[in-house]
Amino acid sequence: MIIRNGELDMDSKNEISTSIVPFLLLFLGAIIYGSFFSAQILALDLGVTPLGLAFWQGFLGALILIIFSLILREPPKFSWDHIRLYSSISLFAFSIPLIALSFAAPHVPPGILALILTLIPSLTYLFSFLAKLEKFNWLSTTGLAFGLAGVLIIVFRDTIMALIAGESNILSTSSVDGSFSGTWFIIALIAPLGYAASNVAVALMRPAEATTIQLSTGVLTFSIPILVVPMLLVDGFYFFENTDYKAFSAVLWAGITNIVIFVTLFEVVFRRGPVFFSQFNYITPAAALLWAYLIFSANVPPVVWVAIALMAIGLYLANRGTAANLQQK
């Protein structure tokens, strides 16, 4: 960093922009996407069917992005390279994880499922390293460790609070059930594998001339056929029967959060790579708890604030680590 006449030179300004912009995108994107889970609960409580909710949030998100892409004159392209990316992300980031978690959910406790999804950053780091997209970096590795520690605190928060309170029957208050099917646990592991693979696929397959708006629009558009088939098979064509505008608003809200996650995915992976983006999966659980507190007045234990602090430290370290790797390239 060089300062001339009391001002930063152009290279230093670009360095700061390169460092801060992806950090803000990731942090704000995860905070916004954390509200997705509250929107889901509201929509389901208001009578929307699960498969109808999945389809309409994808459809509304795609529709909004199509309109914006036309206004910005950045409609999605449909060359072979673009179609290959759209279909890959739609499969890896939508259908495969969703189907795996939907089948496993009745057989694996929610706490274990949350713990499984925290494997995404580590798997992304592994896949990126194998694909030679990332070099080993102590800052990035330490950042991943801090983020994982924060998520573990959230997953096992009941046990931790019981230990602090000196309760003897810890297992009865634990958020993680000790008894579950190993077979369904293995099936649930498909989800983080799919998400991690999609993170790396974006870095490997992104067409050079594609913009974030084009790619986000294309992926959500390609997800519509994947989401409509199970809805038609189970519910028929669901069109908000026996609901009101509040239910539609909740679905629209969920659709907007899907826009946010894909815009964040493509822009952050482009600027910083898949490992840095994977930190998204550490921030989102904490953000989801905060949204639940604001909307449903759900209790947030003090220990969760410790977890949030650890995640913030992890995000900072990962940001510095990826910045160091970029400077070495």
The residue among 103, 172, 121 whose CA lies nearest residue 283 is: 121
Nearest CA among 30, 288, 311 for reference residue 143? 311
Q: Please tell me the predicted confidence (pLDDT) of residue 215.
A: 93
Could you state, in order of their start, the residue ranges of all structural domains in the chain? 19-137+181-284
CB 161 within 8 A of CB 301: yes
pLDDT, tens digit, 9 for 90 and up, residues 244-269: 899 999 999 989 998 998 999 899 98
The residue-averaged pLDDT of 13-28 equals 72
138-155 helix and 110-117 helix, angle to the nearest 10 degrees:
170
How far apart are alpha carbons 147 and 128 in whole angstroms? 18
Nearest to 146 by CA among 284, 318, 321: 318
Residue pointed to by tokens 């929610």: 110
β-bridge partners, 4: 7
Surface-to-core class of residue 284, CB atoms within 10 Å of its CB (0-12 exposed, 13-18 middle, 19+ buried): buried
- Per-residue pLDDT at 7: 44
Distance between CA atoms of residues 234 and 242, nearest Å: 17
Which residues 6+ apart lie within 8 Å of 165 measured at CB? none
Q: Is residue 3's pLDDT more than 70? A: no
Bridge partners for 3 per DSSP = 8
Tokens of 118: 């925290």
The CA-to-CA distance between both ends of the chain, in Å, stands at: 18
pLDDT at position 169: 54
For residues 154-174, one letter each, b for 16 or more C-beta atoms within 10 angstroms of the residue's C-beta and e for the rest, the string is: bbbbbbbbbeeeeeeeeeeeb
**What percentage of the chain reaches a pLDDT higher than 90?**
19
Question: What does the pLDDT look like over 28-86, one tens digit per residue?
Answer: 998 998 888 788 888 888 988 888 888 898 899 999 999 999 999 999 998 898 999 99
Strand ranges for the chain from DSSP E: 3-4, 7-8
Q: What are the tokens at 22? A: 């992806």
Question: Under DSSP, is residue 3 helix (H, G, I), strand (E, B) or coil?
Answer: strand
Buried b / exposed e across 301-313, counting CB within 10 Å, b at 16+?
bebbebbbebbbb
CB-CB contact of 222 with 90 (8 Å)? yes
pLDDT over threshold 90, residue 159: no
- Which residue has 């953000």 as its token pair? 287
Give the residue, 61 or 241, on which the prediction is more confident.
Answer: 61
Reported as a single tens digit per residue, the pLDDT across 172-213 is 444 444 445 567 777 878 888 888 888 888 888 888 788 999
Other Cβ atoms within 10 Å of 21 Cβ, number: 14
Q: For residue 118, give every residue at least 6 positions away whose Cβ sits within 8 Å of its Cβ, in sequence order, or none.
A: 148, 151, 152, 155, 281, 282, 285
